[in-house]
Structure 1
Amino acid sequence: MLKESWSLVEEHQDKVAGYFYARMFLSRPDLRDLFPVHMDVQRSRLLSAIVTAVQTLEDPEKFDDYLRGLGRDHRKFHVEPDHYEVVGGALIEAMRAYAGEQWGVEYDQAWADAYAVIAARMMAGAEADTNPPYWYAEVVSHERRAKDIAVFTVQPMQQLEFRAGQYLSLECPKFQPRLWRTYSVANAPRRDNTLEFHVRALGAGWVSSSLVRRLQVGDMVKLAAPMGTMNLDRRSTRDAVFIAGGTGLAPIKSLLEELTRYNRTRWVHVFFGARNREDLYDLADLNRLAARYPWLSVVTACSDDPTFPGEQGNISEVVARYGPWNDHDFFVSGSGPMVKATLKTLAELQVPSIRIRYDSFSEMG
C-alpha cells in the first residue's frame, strides 16, 4: 500500500517536497532555523530519506539499528520529540495534495503507521545516547593531494569513539553553517584520538569545496555520531578483497589500519581505481603499507589515462580479471555508480551477497 500510494505522486517529487517544507514551516516557523540558509540541495533530501525508510520496513530487524543510529545522528540538529509529529503530518498532507482523487483514507493510515514506527525508533536511539549531540574538532593538518582532493586531520575536543570503516557527518560552521555532509574516517581509532578525512571537491558541493579549498589548520569543525556497518569481522578466516574508487579509499584505509594491528593469516588484496593517475592521491602510502606487510597486495587502475602504466579500465572490470574470488570477503567503497557497477560484477562472478559489505556515497546523496 505504501509503494502503491507513492506511485501516485512520484513524478511530482519536487512539488511534493516544496509543499512538504511549506506546510512544516507554516505550522512551526521555528523549524526553519534547523535547516540550511540555502534549501536547493536540501529540498529533496529529507523527503527522499523518509520515503526510502518507510518503503524498506519489510526488514524491521536490520532497519532497527539503522533507525536508532539515525536518531542519534539527528541530535546534531537539535531535533525534539514533538518535531517528529510535525514532519509526519506535513509528509502526509503533501502527498495527499498531489495524489488527487485516488488518495484514500487507507493510504493515510498506512503512512501514519509506518512513520510512527520510524519516529519511535529514532527517538529511542536519541534518548539512549549518552554522547554529546556533536563534537568540536580542530584541524591539525591539511594537505592538497590533487587539484580537487584534500587529506586533512582533526583533533576532537572530547573523546570520540568509532569503529574502523564507519562514517560520520561533518559541518564546517566557518564557511557553511547548518550544512552537514557524511564522510568516512580514513583511520582506525588511535590513541591520540585524531581522525583523518579524504575529500574531493565536487561541482555543486558547497561543503566539499570548502573543506578542500578553504579549510585551514586551526579552523574548527563539528562532527556528529559515527554510523555505518562496513566493519571487519575478526572471526572471519577468509581472505579479503578491498575495492576503492577515488576518495572511497578512506574507509578502506581505516580497515587496513585495523588489520595491521592483528592480522597474521589473511591475504588482503586492494584494488584502487580512479580516472587518472593524479586521482590515485594516496598511492604512495598504500605502497608503503604493501612493502611493510607481506599479506597485502595493491593493484591500481585508471579509466581515463591511456599512458598510465598500471591496469586500464573501470576498477570493477579490473577485479574480474583477477581471482578466483570463490571464498573471499569483499569491501566496496566509492561513488554510487562505481559501487553499483562493482556489485553487478561480483554478482556475475557469483560472489554471495552475504560476503559483500559496501559504502556508497555522494555529495548530493
Structure 2
Amino acid sequence: MDTSPLSLARSLLRCPSVTPEEGGALSFIESVLKAAGFEVHRPVFSEPGTPDVENLYARYGTGKPYLLFAGHTDVVPPGEVSRWRHDPFSAEIEDGELYGRGAVDMKGGIACMMAAALGFIRDNPDFSGSIGFLITGDEEGPAINGTVKLLKWAKGRGERFDHCILGEPTNPNQLGDMIKIGRRGSLTGKIVVEGKQGHVAYPHLTDNPIPGMLRLLEGLLREPLDHGTDHFDASNLEVTTVDVGNPASNVIPAEARATFNIRFNDLWTPESLEAEISSRLSEAAGNSVRYTLRMEPTNAIAFLTPPNEFVGFIADAIEAETGFRPKLSTTGGTSDARFIVKDCPVVEFGLVGQTMHQVDERVAVEDLNRLAAIYRKVLNAYFAPNP
C-alpha cells in the first residue's frame, strides 16, 4: 500500500464523511493502521437528541513515553457542489494542489500524521515508547459524542498519554507560521431588563427598559477585563445582540434583551469571570434597573501549554524543514484541544487554513510532504534514546 501523505490524503478525501456520517474514513484509517501493527478500536457513542458517532482509537507499542496524534475525519457540508472546481469528494489534483472537502480541515493533517508514524515505525520497529491516534467523527458537529467521550473511554481502559499533537490547520499564510500552544475560553451571557409596556404619549405610566439596558452594557464595557499576558491577548467582551422585539414606534416595550460573548485568557475561569460580570452589572444597575443575568454552560476553558521541551521539539522540526521559527500563538476559536489538555499537554500544528470550510478547499501537495516530514522529525526527536 502507498502510505505517502498524498495517497493517504486522497483516499480520505474520497470518503463523504460529513458530520455525523463516518463515510468510510475511519474504516480506511483502521485498515491502514492495523496493517502496520496498531491495535485499533472503533467505539460508537450516543446521547439522547444527538446522532450516534463513530470514533477511532489506535495504539502502537506499550511503553513510555506515549505520544498521541489527535484529529477528526468529519467535515462540514460542501455546499453547492456546482460551485466547486472539482467534485468535493473526488480528490482531484490541479497545478500542484489537492482539492476536496477536508483537504486542510483536517484530513490532510491526519494523512501527514499517519505517513510520519508509519514511516517511523517501519524504520524503528523496536523503539521504546508508544504512538497513538485519537480520531473523532464529531468535531464539526455538536462535539458531544466525540473527543470528550473518547478520552473518557480511553482513560477507563487505563490509557495515559504524555503529550499530544492536534493536527488542526494552524498556519495563517504558509506552512510553519504558527504553533498553537493554547486557546482562549468562550463564555456567553444573556441579560434581560424588565420594564413596563405602555403608550409613548404616557411615559409616566410605563417603565422603559432600554435606558436601563444601556446602563448595564456601558458598565460591562467601561473597563477592560484585563490587559493580556505573555502568551494571551487581552480578554474580549463583545455584545452580539440587543433586542426588544417591538415592531411599533408608539409603544414602549416591556423588556429588553442582550447577548454577549467573552473570549477570555488564562487569567480567568468561567466561575471567576461570571463573578466579575455579576459585580459590574450590579454596580451599574444600582437600585433602579431590574434585570436578570443567565450565563450559559461552557466547556471552552482557556488553557496554555507553556513553552517547554515538547514545544521545542515541534518548533525545531518546523525550523529545520521550513527555515524559519514559528510563532507561538493562542489566537483563534476553540478546538478539541480544550478537552485533551485535561489529560496531557497538547500542542496544535497542521496545515495552512486559508481555504478551510470554503468552496474549493485545497492544499498544496508540497505542504503535505513537508508537514509529514515535520511530524517525522518530531517523532525522531521525541523518541530519541537518552544520551
Q: TM class by shorter-chain length? A: under 0.3
Structure with more contact order per residue of length (Cα contacts < 8 Å, sep ≥ 6):
2
- Say which one has the larger Rg: 2
| Superposition TM-score, scaled by structure 2 size | 0.23
| Superposition TM-score, scaled by structure 1 size | 0.24
